Amino acid sequence: MNLKRVVVTGIGALTPIGNTAEEFCHGLANGVSGAAPITKFDASLFKTQFACEVKNLDVEQFIDRKEARKMDPFTQYAMISVDEAMADSGLDLEKIDKSRAGVIWGSGIGGLRTFQDEVTAFSTGDGTPRFNPFFIPKMIADISSGFISIKYGFRGPNFVTVSACASGTNALIDAFTYIRMGKADIFISGGSEAAVTEAGIGGFNAMKALSQRNESPETASRPFDKDRDGFVLGEGAGALILEEYEHAKARGAKIYAELVGGGMSADAHHITAPHPEGLGASSVMKIALDDANLKPEDIDYINVHGTSTPLGDVGEIKAIQNVFGEHAYKMNISSTKSMTGHLLGAAGAVEAIACIYALNKGIIPPTINHFEDDDAFDPRLNLTFNKAQEKEINYALSNTFGFGGHNCSVIFKKYN
């Protein structure tokens, strides 16, 4: 089958280190930490009292107040990032075939704030069932893609992928596949999450998944550091406009990068723990390379899942060394979660934008907060500690792994 080429023609980001794609990329280049004490609720009784929150956001500057009340924050974040990406793309909605334009979004949890607030109100009331009529529409994860398609009139495939922390990348791969097979011309794709709530922090605390470095939040996310003690919960959204290459070229679109390969696999091992030898992670990177018709030595940079957990970081590096062999020592590797925290279902989209930034600017975002080497990691690896590095790169790979053993990898190529 003659597969179509797929390019990125628009980006938008709403993150803990910047409320636009430009601000986000500036934060990446400068090693900015988005972690700080939680402001969304009183976290004083929680084991973890900090997170990577979106900052200085007035939702009503972007969404009409009446309309915003129908949306959980995760959908609001999606709409804001998509607005930026669509404006950036220069798409003329009057000149495209909207039946061949779709939306595939990702969210690992969906409307957690809405669910928590509605159930809390009922459980603390007099037992009379008084629920917001928008409770269910605000909560369900797929409502984000519904709102996006309604706003822009896109009538093509429309759904949300739910594969925990791999959701955003999963969405990109699905959109990539539809376009590549000739079933659509354009997709709005990406992911959003808004899980910095009492239930979100409390639930991850109960799993012992979060860092508890309350005395120094800005240094708490420290992938590959000897003293890492868990991830930092983040929130936000990332949006990409994916377009069939000839369609983009015909309208004179600005092209950021080409999406050339994707892979998905399962650990089939444990509901939350990664495979200790990184078997699923190895498999998914090999699948992505094969899908892109690339050799391991073609990859210049890997934006790793790298959450700052004791087991996860080790398993991923083992997988990289297994797949890339000696070339592992020639690549740059970094975890931007050291700056943004873990955006769960939005992570893959935001980290895809980090890869596109690296390809276009020749700047590798750093893994900040490295203080002490861990003997578990070969010192010959370039984990891009603490400061961004300049390097001309042609191919970047991004990994995202989720609870349940879900693994996704995507590969972007520099567009010349």
Nearest-angstrom CA–CA distance, 54 and 196: 10
CA distance 331 to 384: 10
Residue 405, Ramachandran bin (φ over 0: left; ψ between -120 and 50: alpha; else beta): left
What residue type is assigned to position 107 of the chain? S
Among the options 342, 370, 406, 408, which is catalytic? Answer: 342
Q: What phi-psi label fits residue 320: left (phi over 0), alpha (psi between -120 and 50 degrees) or beta?
A: alpha
Tell me the CA distances in angstroms from 403 to 141, 198, 228, 380, one per residue in order.
Answer: 17, 20, 19, 30
Residues of the chain with pLDDT under 70: none
The model's pTM: 0.97
Beta bridge partners, 259, equal 6, 412
Catalytic residue among 247, 275, 305, 370: 305
Q: pLDDT per residue over 12-44, tens digit each?
A: 999 999 999 999 999 999 999 999 999 999 999
Label residue 193 left, alpha or beta by phi (over 0 means left) and psi (-120 to 50 means alpha): beta
**Over the stretch 35-90, which tens digit does the pLDDT of each residue have?**
999 999 999 999 999 999 999 999 999 999 999 999 999 999 999 999 999 999 99
- Clarify whether 26 is annotated catalytic: no
Annotated active-site residue in 25, 165, 355, 408: 165
Domains of the chain, CATH where assigned: 6-250 (3.40.47.10), 265-414 (3.40.47.10)
Q: How far is CA 231 from CA 147, 201, 221, 243, 276, in A?
A: 31, 11, 6, 34, 18
Active site residue 370: no
Output the pLDDT for position 276.
86
Could you confirm whether 305 is annotated as catalytic?
yes
The per-residue pLDDT for 207 is 96
Q: Identify which of 391, 394, 336 has the alpha carbon closest to the alpha carbon of residue 366.
A: 336
pLDDT of residue 131: 96
Rounded Cα–Cα distance for residues 191 and 161 (Å): 9
